[in-house]
Amino acid sequence: MSDQVPSSVDVAVVGAGFAGLYTLHLMRERGLSCHVFEAAGDVGGTWYWNRYPGARCDVESVDYCYSFSEDIHREWAWSERFATQPEILRYAEFVADRLDLRRDISFDAQVTSVEWDDDDRTWALGTKDGRGTRARFVVAAVGLLSASNTPRVPGLDRFAGEVLHTGHWPHEGVDFTGRRVAVIGTGSSGVQAIPEIAADAAHTTVFQRTANYVIPARNRPLTAREIFHAQLDRAFIREQADITPAGYYTSGTGRAAFDDTPEQRETELARRWQAGGTEFVGTYADVVTSREANEVVAEFVRERIRETVHDPEVAARLEPHDHPIASKRPTVGTDYYETFNRENVELVDVRREPIVEITEHAVRTDAGEYPADTLVMATGYDAMTGPLTRMGIRGRDGADLAVEWADGPLSYLGLATAGFPNLFTVTGPLSATALTNVMRSIEHHVEWIADCLTHLTRTGVTTIEADAAAQQQWDQQVDAVGGYTFHREVASWYTGGNIEGKARKLMMWVGGLNTYKQICSHVADGGYVGFRLDGADPVPPP
């Protein structure tokens, strides 16, 4: 770990999750001096904080890892199909050790100001505790889901027991034995945590705002053969990142739902439901573009809910009806629906009976009071923009990123924003991320940025800045492509609709990582089309 912050560097990186770690490694390889600032006490990013019971990745572990290094790929073996948070964190630590990264990372260093100085064309970064540096370039590797969202429920500060957020879980863990627990939120975090909490707690009350489609994980240990193949197949993994929309191999049928007969559909969906994992939702190619196709898959899930949950009233409350399946991030769970058959578990639909307030010892809805000793907020994140707008970024002429983005994020390719020269985002808003295997998005963005900085350094260019017109065109393209799927219309963290008062805008390119990578390559190959180099007119298309 580095307590010594250099007074100036070529590249300052914010965040030591998977994006920040790879950025540091690649910058070193390119001969650029680099320093990383990380708010947490160690590496891992989202996997450092999300220590709630049951926390796992919903992408299969053999895909949720780096592919850039032959050595790392060969030396690491995952133990389960869906890795647990502790195992993923160990992997991040392993990579940090293997590449000797910690010596250039400052921990417990929350960046609170990032200010552009036009005179000497550098950024000044400052942390909450007064550390800082100057940097030619800044890479914000802050993750999509790192700014947690705690809704302003009246009386929350009066609650006498512990209030926990899944995204900031106590490192020492929590013993729920004998406690009455209230869980608010049934997204991925809630879906994973609820069965584990219910197994230990005296009583668990689940407050659900939107019923979700929960696909069984069917998690299991990986076989020796699977581990061997995963270690062998790095080239395959990288190739898939280039040719598939999600950036990894998926076993969808490639057919439209109505290409199959009803019997074939039932058989195919049942087989995939049995296999588990998010691939179930990708059974048919038109699931996010055809309402009828979507409804077939959605109804299949509802039938499984009715089949699993004994109390028909509870089952009805758990059935999702208000959004298409896969229009929000699909959730993968273990024994989620089964948990509602437990005597000590209660489900409250807060659309029917809204939460009015939190009292000292209970959650009070307009229909009654639910006693609780511990409150678990599984209420998600101010996703994608939150980590960036909370960082005090001020660009050219003092422009405040939070103000510029008040009506939604603006970015060219999701990599850079007009008015903020020499600042790059990894998995930033309006890039190809979130719907992808984020590991592949991270690798692509970091490599693109590293190539860009290498080019600028070689050619003596001191500033690069997205052109406002190119940015606007990209914005329109993201929106137009977004119109082909259901993601844009649904209130979720993809659109900012999960948070009261947040501007609604689809925040990612849904046209596929493969297509996005080609666009980014054309931009670079054309000499950074749509960017202004050293303040000159934007580079036109070749």
Closest CA to 1 of 69, 73, 97, 68: 97
Distance CA 144, CA 382 (A): 9
State how beta strands 374-377 and 162-165 pair.
parallel
Q: Which of 54, 143, 187, 429 binds ligand NA7 (CB under 6 A)?
A: 187
Q: Where are the beta strands (DSSP E) in 264-311?
A: none
358, two tokens: 């939190």
Distance CA 449, CA 42 (A): 24
Is residue 517 within 8 Å of residue 524, measured between CB atoms?
no
* Using rule CB under 6 A, residue 278 touches ligand NA7: no
Contact partners, residue 301, CB within 8 Å, separation at least 6? 213, 214, 215, 320, 325
Q: Is 345 helix (H, G, I), strand (E, B) or coil?
A: strand
Q: Which stretch binds ligand NA7 (CB under 6 A): 80-88, 202-210, 239-247, 407-415?
A: 202-210
Q: Which stretch binds ligand NA7 (CB under 6 A): 99-107, 188-196, 223-231, 269-277?
A: 188-196
* Using rule CB under 6 A, residue 184 touches ligand NA7: yes
Q: Which stretch binds ligand NA7 (CB under 6 A): 32-40, 374-382, 397-405, 472-480?
A: 374-382
* Using rule CB under 6 A, residue 99 touches ligand NA7: no
Q: Which of 166, 240, 389, 471 binds ligand NA7 (CB under 6 A)?
A: 166
**Which residue's structure tokens are 């069965």?**
195
Q: Which stretch binds ligand NA7 (CB under 6 A): 112-120, 184-192, 387-395, 507-515?
A: 184-192
The residue count for binding ligand NA7 (CB under 6 A) is 22
Q: Which of 122, 133, 188, 327 binds ligand NA7 (CB under 6 A)?
A: 188
Nearer to ligand NA7, 169 or 412 (CB): 169
Closest CA to 234 of 78, 76, 67, 81: 67
Nearer to ligand NA7, 67 or 166 (CB): 166
**What is the amino acid identity at position 536?**
A
Q: Report residue 476: phi and psi, to 5°.
A: -65, -40
* Using rule CB under 6 A, residue 183 touches ligand NA7: no
Q: Which stretch binds ligand NA7 (CB under 6 A): 98-106, 125-133, 378-386, 415-423?
A: 378-386
Distance CA 162, CA 156 (A): 11
Q: Report residue 132: phi and psi, to 5°.
A: 175, 175
Q: Which of 298, 378, 423, 510 binds ligand NA7 (CB under 6 A)?
A: 378
* Using rule CB under 6 A, residue 219 touches ligand NA7: no
* Using rule CB under 6 A, residue 276 touches ligand NA7: no
* Using rule CB under 6 A, residue 329 touches ligand NA7: yes
Q: Which of 15, 54, 190, 429 binds ligand NA7 (CB under 6 A)?
A: 190
Q: Which stretch binds ligand NA7 (CB under 6 A): 115-123, 290-298, 375-383, 481-489?
A: 375-383
* Using rule CB under 6 A, residue 392 touches ligand NA7: no
Distance CA 493, CA 474 (A): 21
Question: Where in 485-524 is the site for ligand NA7 (CB under 6 A)?
Answer: 493, 498
Site string for ligand NA7, 440-479 (x = CB under 6 A): ----------------------------------------
524, two tokens: 């670079």
* Using rule CB under 6 A, residue 356 touches ligand NA7: no
Distance CA 38, CA 510 (A): 30
Distance CA 147, CA 136 (A): 26
Residue 387 CA to its chain's centroid (Å): 12
Minimal distance, residue 215 CB to ligand NA7, in Å: 13
* Using rule CB under 6 A, residue 282 touches ligand NA7: no
* Using rule CB under 6 A, residue 425 touches ligand NA7: no
Nearer to ligand NA7, 86 or 541 (CB): 86
What letter would DSSP give residue 398?
G
Contact partners, residue 97, CB within 8 Å, separation at least 6? none
| Cα end-to-end span (Å), the chain | 45
Minimal distance, residue 71 CB to ligand NA7, in Å: 29
The number of residues in the chain equals 542
* Using rule CB under 6 A, residue 437 touches ligand NA7: no
Helix (H) or strand (E) holding 393: strand 393-394
178, two tokens: 């004998």
Q: Which of 15, 45, 54, 185 binds ligand NA7 (CB under 6 A)?
A: 185
Minimal distance, residue 294 CB to ligand NA7, in Å: 18
* Using rule CB under 6 A, residue 151 touches ligand NA7: yes
* Using rule CB under 6 A, residue 189 touches ligand NA7: yes
* Using rule CB under 6 A, residue 209 touches ligand NA7: yes
Distance CA 159, CA 261 (A): 54
Burial status of residue 388 (CB atoms within 10 A of its CB: 0-12, 13-18, 19 or more): buried
DSSP bridge pairs for 423 = 138
Which stretches of the chain bind ligand NA7, using CB under 6 A?
58, 145, 151, 166, 184-190, 207, 209-210, 329, 350, 378-381, 493, 498
